[in-house]
Every structure is written in structure tokens, then in C-alpha cells.
Chain A
Amino acid sequence: MAKITLDIFRFDEAVDVVPHRDAVVVDIPETTTVLDALETAKADVDGSISFRRSCRSAICGSCSMNINGITGLACKTPCNTVMDETGAIKIDPTPNFQPMKDLVVHMDPFWDKYARLKPYLQPSDSDSAHERERRVSPDDMKKLVDVANCVMCATCYALCPVVSVDPAFAGPAAIAYAYRFIEDVRDGQRKERIAQISEDYLWLCAHCYACSYCPKHVDPNDRIIDVKRAAIKDRVLMNERGPRHALVVTKWIKKVGMLHETELIAGTIGRFNVRGLLKVAPLGLRMAYKGKMPPMFLKPIPKVDEVRTIFDALEVPVS
């Protein structure tokens, strides 16, 4: 048994103006999960401590919270993996959400983005799905099983640095769930779904892998890349900056073997997009003034033909 101090964020939006913290000491084995420690605190010390929980086995996705600065499921986090030398554990509500009461947050923005996906199968009109059994091959199903493990705990959404500065971004979970329908052979709305998620800022993912800490190993970071590839394959909204950027980078690697900084800026913004180019001009001028302007012309790397051979063998699209 160990004396563990839970340093808990306390706030009730109905009465409090500012949050405060309570330190609650519980006497439990140190291998106990943080969720069980909270349950003990609630049962034995202070019944008013509020947090969401249900299954206690990482299936329901209710108990995501910030534990010593790390967001994850409390039911999957043993106390001894997070407590400091004094046996203290700091517990806060998940970031990127508005606190409601103690560790309970307003989940609405997360659910709204999920609802926008129309998260149910929509067979095409010509499909007589309702009249017969629909078979999915094991290979087709394999693409979906990992994503189907998502329990919507919103851990990825809470960890996402883009969400933290731009709430319009769909967030990792919604994009991973979009993938689940986009790649489902029974669905008839593939292009519409890709367009919808592109409009919800698919291409605003910053490739930071913060969401690689998914407690269910859905790996939203990789699913986001899958959806981007689907967008390029199906040529959906190709004139937006995201796909243009991906293709111009690829095109110049094929041409000169390197990332061509000046070309990719012009190519992404659009050579004739005067307003867009004027917007980046001040930074460009400041860089030029410091002698930091990337070269306008790049000599191809030695043996660039080998690079082109690779692109041709893999039939990589460059426009």
C-alpha cells in the first residue's frame, strides 16, 4: 500500500468563477490505476469529485484526462507510472476542451465534428443493399478494423496542437473516422466524404504525431495520410493548397532530387495568386535582407535519373 496524493483540478461552471485545486490522499497499492484512485477518493474522501467513467477497461473511452501533464485514459494508467517521488499525481481535465465540472468537460465540439461526417454507411442509390447480404473481403475489412477500435475518448483531439489554436480543424479522430467510411467498400459517398473532410481542414494536420499516443492504437496520424492519398487518387478539390503543396513538392523532388523551397512556395500559393503571394512577401523580404533567401534555381543532384526511375517505377503522380 502507498499514500498517493491526488492533486485535482476543481471547478463547477454553475457556481465558480475560477478553478481551484484539492489535494486528496488515498491509501492504495501503487499499481492501482489512476481511475481506481479517483474512485477511492470519491468513495472515501469527497463524494463531490466529478469525472466521467464507465467500463474501467479502456473500452468505453470516457475517462480521458490529463495526468501529470500527459493526456490519456485514467483506467489504463497505473499510478506508479506517473506519480512523482512524493507520490503525488496532478490531475486536470483534458486540454482543448471547456471544463464543465472538475474533470468533466464539454465534449460538444468533438461530437459536432463527428456528426458532420454522417458517421453511418450510405450506399449509393443504385445499390440494392437493403435486399441482400453485403460481403466484404478480408483484405477490405483489414483496412477498417484498426480504425473501428476508436472509442472516441478524444485523447487525440486533446493532444492536437492545431486544435489548440484553430478550433475549426476537424481533429485527428474525425479524420480517422472519415477514413473508416471512405475506405468501406459498402459506402457510396466516397468522393463526397473526402470533399467534406477536406473542407473541415484535412490538410491542416501539421504532421506532428502528437496523436500517435492513441490508447487504442488507431494511429490517427497515419489515417490522416491515408485520407490525403485518397483525395489525390480520386482528385477531389485538387485546386486547394494542401494537394497542390503535396504535388509540387513531389514534382520538384522528381525534377531535381531535392525539395525546392522557392518553387514550392510559389506552387502552393499559386503563381498568379497575387494576394496570396503579397501575404508571404514581407517574410520573404526580411529573409532576403538577411541573405537567407533560398535559391531560385537548383542544380539537379548527381544521378538524378535514378530518382526519376524510382518515381516512374512507382507511378507517382506529380500533378
Chain B
Amino acid sequence: MSATLLPEDLPLDAHRRTQSAQRGRYGFFPGCVAKESCKELFNSTMLLADKLGIELIELTAASCCGASVVNDVNRDVARVLNARTYAQAEALGLDDVITICSTCTGHMRAANKELLESEERMDHANAILGKFGATYHGKVTVRHLLWLLIDDIGLDRLRAMVVRPLNGLKVAPFYGCHIIRPESVNGWESARHPHSLEDVIEAIGGEAIDYAGKTRCCGFHIQLEKDDVAANMVGQNMRMAQDHGAEAVLTPCPLCHLALDGYQADAAARWGRTDLPTFHLPQLVAFALGVPADRLGLNKHLIDPRTILVERELIA
């Protein structure tokens, strides 16, 4: 079931069966936000990896992916920064870099695509990496944890691992942008009709809510430019989710999480109160797989997700 036209063994293929996947040892790129304001995402990812029986080897010397912002300043720098990160993964014998942020996924995949599709750009990057003795050989695939869950673990196995099914909790998937768009970069699934989050939600015993806002933008990148516009984008999407019956939101991206968790209160004046608790992807999966709720950092969220878990008798 390949969503791209590329042969299966090419690093650009999001569905590639990597050597890392076969060994259960992955390069891990947590990204900046999971190390700063969303530490609960980092911690719950490590707890989930434990439950899944996979090893995530953090690329501790990796830099920021460029966060879509450095492109505004220079067209080459994000590409070369990411080539440095891939070279580090290769040096550790890893051909897979797993991300837990949509923006990291999209921009790291875009950088890899630029490198792999042009010898000139690859040589240019390697000429700079050569100044400190590094080389990128073009063997790395960048994938999101969400794709790993479905392609490497598999939905059937995931279902079998669930010890605390979500009891039909109505969860609105919120993809955000960079894990699906542009399709030419991500290509794991259709950006217009994605279903990966829905599949995971159903596998862990929840009910996935369908609403148009699930593939729309959270406004994170313009919070500092015009916060009322960003808040309205959150409000618009959360209003749709709630009108379709959502009790909670699940997102694969900490930037979306910051926006949805932080700005629903500001959006209430125009869109009405929604107060939908937002889970990070690994938090909710780890919870269903039996990680105790108090280890998942749920108390760090501005809209406390424990309330709905208590209401649904999932925690005491």
C-alpha cells in the first residue's frame, strides 16, 4: 500500500521498511518543543517506546530542523542543518529518523527530498559538512511516530497490546499541516482524506470523530504575528470538532498542541467555549497500553484531560 510512486526501497518512501525498523532500533529526533515547553510529549514517547518494545536512540547532537521559519531567511540552511542530522544517524548505523512533531516531519522530509533529488545539492551540503568531517550518504528515511505505529507495529498488534481500551471516548483527530501537506513531500497518505489518526484511535478503543477541521491549520506559526487570528483559527476548528460530538482531541504535533491547548480560552469569546482537552499522540496510546496516567504529564496541560478520563471512568 504505497502512497508514493517511488520504488519501495528509496529513502523518500514514507512506507519504506527500514533496517532500523527490522531491528527495532530507531534514530529519534524529538525536536525542540518536546525538549522545552512540551516535555510531557518527550517523556510519554519514551514510555510508549518501552511498551512497544522498540528502542529510540536520541540524536542528542542534532540541531533544530529549521521549524519552517529559517526558510524565510535563507533557502539552503535548513537543508544543510538536516543533512548534518542525517549524517549523525548514519554514523550510528541507523537509516530511520523518527519524529514526534508534524513540523519537524514535513521540513526534515522536504530537506531530504531536496538532497536526494539533486546531486548538486547533496554535494553542496557535503562540502559544508566536510569542514567538520561529516558526510551524508543519502540513506536516511524520516518518518513520524504515527507512521511507525501503523507500518512497523501494525494496527492488529497495537489492538492486541491495549490493556485499557478508551471505552468509546469520542476523539477528534487533529493532523495539522506539515505531516500531510504538501503531499509531494510527505506522501504517507492522502492529505485530503487522511485516516492514520482515526485508525489509531479506533485501535485503542476510542471513537474517531469526522469533521472538516481535522486537516486545517492550528495557527501556531502566526501566534506572535497576530494572536487574535491564530486564536480564531483554533476556535473555528475546535467549534467544528465539538459540534460533531468530540470529547477530546488527539494530535501528532506539539505545535498544534500548544495552539489548541493554549488558545481555546482566548477563542471562546467568538466561537463559544469548547474546552476540549488535547492529547499528544503518544500520551493517549501509552495510556491505552497501560502506562499509569500520572506518568504522562497530563497535569501539565492547560485544559486538564484528566477530567474527561474520570468522567469516562477510565481513571479514578
What is the interface of chain A, defined by CB distance below 8 A to chain B?
Answer: 69-70, 161-162, 164-166, 169, 201, 203-210, 212, 221, 225, 228-229, 232, 241-243, 245-247, 249-250, 253, 257-259, 261, 264-265, 268-269, 279-280, 283, 286-287, 290-295, 298, 301-307, 309-311, 313-314, 316-317
Residue of B nearest to A311 (CB): B77
Q: Say whether A306 contacts B134, CB under 8 Å.
A: yes
* B222 adjacent to chain A (CB < 8 Å): yes
Question: Given that A204-B226, A292-B302, A310-B128 are known contacts, is A209 also in contact with B73, CB under 8 Å in the complex?
Answer: no
Q: A162-B233, A316-B74 are in contact. Are A290 and B299 (CB under 8 A)?
A: yes
Contact of B225 among A242, A290, A301 (CB under 8 A): A242
Give Cα A220 to B68, complex, Å: 15
Tell me whether A307 and B84 are in contact in the complex, defined as CB-CB below 8 angstroms, given that A208-B181, A229-B72, A258-B35 are known contacts.
Answer: yes
**A198 shortest CB reach to chain B, Å:** 11
B268 proximal to A (CB < 8 A)? no
* Contact, CB under 8 Å: A310 / B62: no
Do A165 and B232 touch across chains, with their CB atoms under 8 A apart? yes
Q: Is B27 an interface residue when CB atoms closer than 8 A count as contact?
A: no
A279 contacts B128, C-beta separation under 8 Å? no
Q: Write out the residue numbers on chain A whose beta carbons fall within 8 Å of the beta carbon of B300.
A: 290-292
Q: Secondary structure at chain B's binding surface: helix, strand, loop or mixed?
A: loop
Give A310 to B61 CA distance when docked, in angstroms. Answer: 14
* A169, A295, A313, most chain B CB atoms within 10 A: A313
Nearest A residue to B183, CB-CB: A212
Complex Cα gap A192–B211 (Å): 42
Give bound CA distance, A258 to B212, whole Å.
34
In the assembled complex, B75 has its CB within 8 A of some CB on chain A: yes
Q: Given the complex, which residues of B lie within 8 Å of A250, measured CB to CB?
A: 69-70, 73-74, 77
> Do residues B217 and A210 form an inter-chain contact, with CB atoms below 8 A?
yes
Q: What are 15 A-to-B residue pairs whose CB atoms are below 8 Å? A: A162-B217, A162-B219, A165-B236, A203-B225, A204-B225, A207-B178, A246-B69, A257-B63, A258-B32, A292-B37, A292-B38, A294-B37, A295-B36, A303-B132, A307-B63
Rounded to whole Å, the gap between the CB of A133 and the closest CB of chain B is 32
Q: Is the CB of B181 within 8 A of A212?
A: yes
Q: Is the CB of A261 within 8 A of B33?
A: yes
Task: Knowing A207-B68, A307-B81, say if A165 contacts B76 (CB, 8 Å).
Answer: no
Chain A residues contacting B76 (CB-CB under 8 Å) are 314
A246 & B72 in contact (Cβ 8 Å cutoff): yes
Q: Indicate if the CB atoms of B222 and A162 lie closer than 8 Å.
A: yes
CA distance in complex: A298, B32 (Å): 11
Chain B's closest residue to A244 (CB) is B224
> Whole-angstrom distance from the CB of A257 to the nearest CB of chain B?
4
Would you call B219 and A206 a contact (CB within 8 A)? yes
Within 8 A of A (CB), among B22-47: 32-33, 35-38
Tell yes or no: B285 within 8 A of A by CB: no
Are B37 and A287 within 8 A (Cβ)? Answer: yes
Question: Across the two chains, which residue of chain A brings its CB closest to B68?
Answer: A207
Tell me the residues in window 52-70 of chain B with beta carbons closer than 8 Å to chain A beta carbons. Answer: 60-64, 66-70
Chain A residue, CB-CB nearest to B125: A310
In the complex, how many angstroms separate the beta carbon of B101 from the nearest chain A beta carbon?
11
Task: Kindly state whether residue B216 has any CB partner on chain A within 8 Å.
Answer: yes
Q: Is the CB of B73 within 8 A of A258?
A: no
Contact B63 A253 (CB under 8 A): yes
Residues of A within 8 A of B62 (CB): 301
CB-based nearest A residue for B222: A206
Q: With contacts A165-B233, A212-B184, A246-B73 known, what are 13 further pairs, Cβ within 8 A?
A: A241-B224, A249-B67, A253-B64, A253-B70, A258-B32, A258-B63, A283-B263, A292-B37, A292-B302, A310-B81, A314-B76, A316-B70, A316-B77
